[in-house]
Amino acid sequence: MRRRRRKNLPTTPITLDIESLSHEGRGLARHEGKVVFVEGALSGEQVEAVLIDRRSSFDVARITEIHKRSKERIEPACEYAGVCGGCSLLHLKPEAQLLFKQEMLFDKLSHAVPGKEFTALEPLTGPVLGYRRKARLAVRYVHKKNQVLIGFREKNSSFITHMNNCQVLDVRIACLLPELIELIGSLEGYREIPQIEVAAGDPDISDTTFALVFRHLQPLAENDQEKLTSFAASKGFALYFQPGGMETVHKVFPVGGEDRLYYRLPEFELTLGFHPTDFTQVNAEINCKMVSRALELLELGEEDSVLDLFCGLGNFTLALARKCGSIIGIEGAQAMVERANENATANGITNADFYCADLSRSMLGASWMDKTCNKILLDPPRSGALEILPDIVSLHPERIVYVSCNPATLARDAGYLSEQGYVMAQAGAMDMFPQTAHVEAMVLFLRSDAC
C-alpha cells in the first residue's frame, strides 16, 4: 500500500488568540475550528504564528510575533529558552507558574471527586533556578558544526540543544558544561559517548559531593580514560563509566571508598546515602519540605504502625520512623531495599523494616503484610497505584497520604478511594520542577468514619 504523503504546511503566519495554557504549558488557541498548541505563548495573548506540525485533531505552531503580551510574561533567565526542551515555562513569572500548576491539579481532583470540598494546602516552593541535582544530559558530535554538544533535547526534536550553561542545573554541574564539551571533543572516542548522567548530594557532607556517569558505546582508549580521570580529580567529582546496561556502571575515581553521595533531612537528624544512579528527588529544598508535610498530615504518634509503599531508599520511611511506633517500607527494586536498610543502620533506626515486592500486583498474603498498619504513605511512579488500592482499602487505614508526580493518575486513584469511603480532605501542589509544567502533589485521604 502506498503511503500518503503529508501535505506541505502553510508558510503564511496566522493570528491566534490564546485562550489558556495546556497541561504541557503551551498556549491553546483555535483556528478554523481546530485546536492549535502554540509553543511559548501565554493565556490572554494575541500572537502571530506559523504551523510546524499538523495532526488530525490539533496543530502545533511557533510564535513569530506577539501583538498583545500577557502581564505575566517575563524575559527568560536562560538564553536557550526558546530552543531547549528542558524547560517550558521560563517566560512565565514563577508565581504565575505556581498558580497554573495549582489550578491544573485542583481542576483534575475536582472532576475526579465531584461535589466534594477539600482544603487547599499552601504550595511548597523553593529555588526556581539552580535546583536540579539529577539529570541525564545527551551528548553528540555534530559533523556539520564540527562540535560536541551536551545538553537537553530541543523542543519537539531529537536534536541536542547547543548550550554552554543551564540555569536550572545545580551550579556545580552547570559550570562544567563548557569544559566538558572541550574535553569530550579532545578524546579519541568523542563519538562514543551518548550520555552523561549527573547526580549531586549536599555540598558539605563529604569531599566528593557530586558524580558524573559517562555512558560509552565502545571501550574507551587508555589515554581517554586518563583525561577523564584527571578532569574529575581537578574538579572534585566522582567519575563513573557505563559501558553497557545499568548493571555495568562502575566507579573509576576516586579509587576505593563507598559508591555514595549523601543528603540530609536536618529536621529529622538524618543523613541518607545514595548511589549516583539511584532515584532521588531532584530538588533538595522541596524534598525536605515534602517529607515534613507528609509527617504533619499523617499525625503520627508512638502508637501508630505505618506502611510506606514505593519507599525507595527510605526518604520518607526513616523520617516517619522517628515519630511512629513501627514502619514497614516496600520497594520494587532489591538494590533500593538494601540501600534503605543501609540508611536505617547508619542513622540508628531500629523500628523500620524493608521488603522487596512488585507493587503492581496484589499485596494480600505477603509475609510482610501487616494488617495492624493504621496509616499509609504511598509515593508511586507516574502510572499511579490503582493496582494495589484495593489491598490498601482492605487494611482500613485511618489516614492515607498520597504523594504524586502525575495529576492524571492521582485524580483517577482519588476517584477510586472516594468510592471506597475515603474523604479527600486536603490537597496541595509542590513545585519540584520550577520552569516546567511538571506538577507534584500531596493529598490526604481520611476514612469516612475517622473524620
Strands 250-253 and 238-242, by their bridges, are antiparallel
CB 167 within 8 A of CB 130: yes
Of 120, 115, 126, 127, the C-alpha closest to 105 is 120
In angstroms, what CA-CA distances link 311 with 151, 176, 293, 317, 400? 30, 33, 16, 7, 14
As a whole number of angstroms, the distance between CA 335 and CA 314 comes to 12
CB-based burial, 359-396: b 16+ in 10 Å, e otherwise: beeebeeeeebeeebbbbbbbbeeebbeebbebbbebe
Residues with catalytic annotation? 405
As a whole number of angstroms, the distance between CA 163 and CA 77 comes to 14
Cross-strand bridge partners of residue 28 = 20, 37
Looking at residue 414, its amino acid is A
3-state SS assignment for residue 262: strand
Strands 46-54 and 14-17, by their bridges, are antiparallel
**499552601: which residue's cell?**
122
> Backbone phi, then psi, for 103, in 5-degree steps?
-65, -40
Spacing of C-alpha 257 from chain mean position: 29
Looking at residue 188, its amino acid is E
Spacing of C-alpha 319 from chain mean position: 21
Q: Grid coordinates in use for 274?
A: 545514595
- Other C-beta atoms closer than 10 Å to the C-beta of 246 total 10
- Other C-beta atoms closer than 10 Å to the C-beta of 48 total 14
> Backbone phi, then psi, for 264, in 5-degree steps?
-110, 150
Residues 6+ apart with CB under 8 A from 41: 16, 18, 26, 27, 29, 47, 49, 63, 66
